[in-house]
Structure 1
């Protein structure tokens, strides 16, 4: 029986038949921008709840004896609208609740009796309270938006997006935070043109928050300096190791400085159709060839992440692989390969990308992000950094 192109270790090799060229893993079509349709969000459905409460109160009054009151429905409506809607909508909801209160009493023709006055005062008081809640929530939203803008500016400063073309290579990068309200995490990427070739790093700092951001800044700063000065890629990795060790000592212990960083470094020598890789405990890069074949660039020997030299030190050993024209080198963090669906199944970039072609790196990353969102139901548990480099 003929062996499947995907049965052997290392995936399908160049020259193997391409099963399903241009389409790959089946799935519903996505719009050109890489986004996919979503079901209405719970927040959108909740905005309709005030109208439903008022309508439900009126129906409750019509179907029950006079001694029963629908005021709980009418008071709940503006309270629900307050945190979810604009000030005008909250005011209109409170006004509608007051009108509904008068309307249900008019049905019985009771006039301005004590029960009507009590219910109107109750609904009006709650409506005013809802307006106050709305103003507090809107103020908090403005402060949060300001914090997000500051975080986004900090991310651009610490993690700037590389140019679309560097030294003849087409390049695209994407950072996807696990939460919509978080712009900065511990994933990182950088591209540096140097006298020794174009050098690339993608990494993942242990931990979250400001400590992880500080580690990202140290790693990227050390990488840019070492990429210019070190003649060998192994020397760049060693410089990163020393930089993290110095910062850990300065901050009184390695635990105070997030501990370690997984990273993969790549070097694209000028004038040579090759790529050199040093992997420090990171998911291996993928090489997507122009004919749809795919290779996984696995290191000769596993190595410890950066920042763990106290456990032992071994010389780095770069692997060298062909990087022909039309091929794309994909580097990513484990936010991609560890994204789970509702059944706990991981997203497998190797299987999903085999046999597919993409016109440029930006399209590749857009499709990956959209497919991961679809696979995980709209969100992931970990941040995701992606970087693709294509040799024209």
Structure 2
């Protein structure tokens, strides 16, 4: 696999120095006052130093910066021999006013930050409830999952995944709701709830998929908005039978899973294309179930199209098979970390669609 190192944002690189910016501006103001003619004022730098402190420092730090700026400005007037003249009082009044405004802005930023942090905590709680992390292991199987929403700071969107250990083997699903907003989130919650319940009860994989089909159709009817939900969910359902080194796959209009073997990686294309969930009225024939060998050390990657439809600045789609050819991942977590890092390099950090990743590996069962 071609290795890349993403370049951190300049703002992140300089993050630890940001609290020093107000002091640097005040220092620059004093330097300008001392090195320029006496009729040249650095009042703009004093004001900039105070206002910069508002979002970067605490309330105490902001007030201290304002007081320091006022004292330094007064000291410069005294140094140049001004004694209570009109320009001196006008500039000192301006600096004082800016300091008061900066203290107010500091409190405003603090309360906005508190509200944002609360919203993020709520979003994270919703994600844990709707998309809980899969188990780390079940028998010889090991799991890892990642989720990135298209919207910055969002925690959940229209992609879904779930892993359930059942009497019939371990069953997994990954899917993509064709819609946005709260309608998509509601469809995600309904689909995962149905999958978890049906996976424990339905003995056959085809019966499980049929239950999902009915749940999606019911959700479409209940939503009352075909435009927002767009009427279907693409998905892959995988079943790992117990004491068997194979996986059974049902692909309903979803991107083909990827299978990582020693130094090789390939797409697992379905033998017959299936329609997305929610379009059963157009389907004909029995459910297509493909059985694929899944030996020790193999990793199956289930993903949504946010991965393969990620584009670089020239509009070139991301090709995970081509970029990871010859790469042997040491485990599912390492694979997903490497994959996400490589996607971010390819796109330059831009995200236009949700992306869900679920990796499963088969290790020797020592139990």
TM-score (norm 1): 0.84
Q: Which one is further off, 119-128 or 364-373? A: 364-373
**Partner residue, 2:360:** 389
Q: 1:99 aligns with which of 57, 60, 71?
A: 71
Name the SS of the counterpart of 1:77 in structure 2: helix
Q: Tell me the SS of whatever aligns to 1:160.
A: coil
Unaligned runs of 5+ in 2: none
- Indicate which of 114, 125, 149 corresponds to 1:177: 149
Q: Does the residue aligned with 1:188 lie in a helix, a strand or coil? A: strand
Residues 140-192 of structure 1 show CA distances to partners (whole Å, capped at 9, x for unaligned) of: 11111111111111111111111111243111111223345211111111011
User: Structure 1 residue 204 and structure 2 residue 183: aligned?
Assistant: no
Contact 2:198 2:211 in 1 (8 A): yes
2:353 counterpart of 1:376:
no
Whether contact under 8 Å (1:57, 1:70) holds in the other structure is yes
State how far apart, in whole Å, the 1-side matches of 2:225 and 2:7 are.
Answer: 47
Using the alignment, how far apart are the partners of 2:172 and 2:84 within structure 1? 78
- Displacement of 1:265 in angstroms is 1.1
1:212 shift after superposition: 1.7
1:108 is aligned, of 73, 80, 86, to 80
Which segment drifts farther, 249-258 or 298-307?
Answer: 249-258
Matched position secondary structure for 1:215: helix
Partner of 1:335: 306
TM-score by length of 2: 0.89
After superposition, the CA RMSD in angstroms is 2.3
Aligned to 1:70: 42
Contact 1:329–1:389 (CA under 8 A) maintained in structure 2: yes
Per-residue deviation, residues 329-373 of structure 1 (Å, max 9, x unmatched): 111112222223333333221112221112221121122222222
Q: 2:223 aligns with which of 251, 259, 263?
A: 251
SS at match of 2:283: coil
Inter-partner Cα distance in structure 2 for 1:120 and 1:363: 59
1:327 is displaced (CA, Å) by 0.7
1:266 aligns with 2:243: no
Deviations 1:47-72 (A, max 9, x none): 55534543443344445544443222
1:247 touches 1:257 (CA, 8 Å); kept in 2? no
Task: Report the counterpart of residue 322 of structure 1 in structure 2.
Answer: 293
Q: How many residues align?
A: 360
Correspondence 1:166 to 2:143: no
Would the alpha carbon gap of residues 86 and 37 (structure 1) be closer, same or farther in structure 2, given more than 3 Å must change? farther
TM superposition shift of 1:221: 1.0
3-state secondary structure, aligned to 2:306: helix
- Contact 1:175–1:384 at 8 Å: present in 2 too? yes
What secondary structure does 2:300 align onto?
A: strand
Alignment of 1:88-237 (within 5 A): 88-237=60-209
Structure 2 match to 1:25: 2
Paired with 1:366 and 1:26, the residues of 2 have a C-alpha distance of 13
Distance 1:194 1:181, change over 3 A: same
Write the distance in 1 (CA, Å) between the matches of 2:24 and 2:346.
Answer: 34
- Which residue of structure 1 lines up, in the alignment, with residue 332 of structure 2? 361
Indicate how the Cα distance of structure 1 residues 139 and 237 shifts in structure 2: closer, same or farther if over 3 A, else same. same
The structure-2 alpha-carbon separation of the partners of 1:381 and 1:89, relative to structure 1 and needing over 3 Å to count, comes to farther
* Partner SS state of residue 161, structure 2: strand
Q: Is the 8 A contact 1:328 1:388 kept in 2?
A: yes
Distance in structure 2 (CA, Å) of the matches to 1:340 and 1:85: 38
Within the candidate set 35, 38, 44, 2:8 is matched to 38
User: Per the alignment, do residues 341 and 104 of structure 1 end up closer, same or farther by CA in structure 2, a change over 3 Å counting?
Assistant: farther
Taking the aligned partners of 1:48 and 1:377, their CA distance within structure 2 comes to 29
Distance 2:23 2:284 in 1: 67
Aligned with 1:41: secondary structure?
helix
Give the distance between the partners of 1:236 and 1:202, measured in 2 at CA: 14
Corresponding residue SS for 2:349: coil
- Partners of 1:89 and 1:181 lie apart in 2 by 28
Structure 1: where are the runs of 5+ without partners?
Answer: 1-23, 29-35
Distance 2:220 2:180 in 1: 16
Query: In the aligned structure 1, how far is the partner of 2:280 from the partner of 2:63?
Result: 63
* Corresponding residue for residue 346 of structure 1: 317
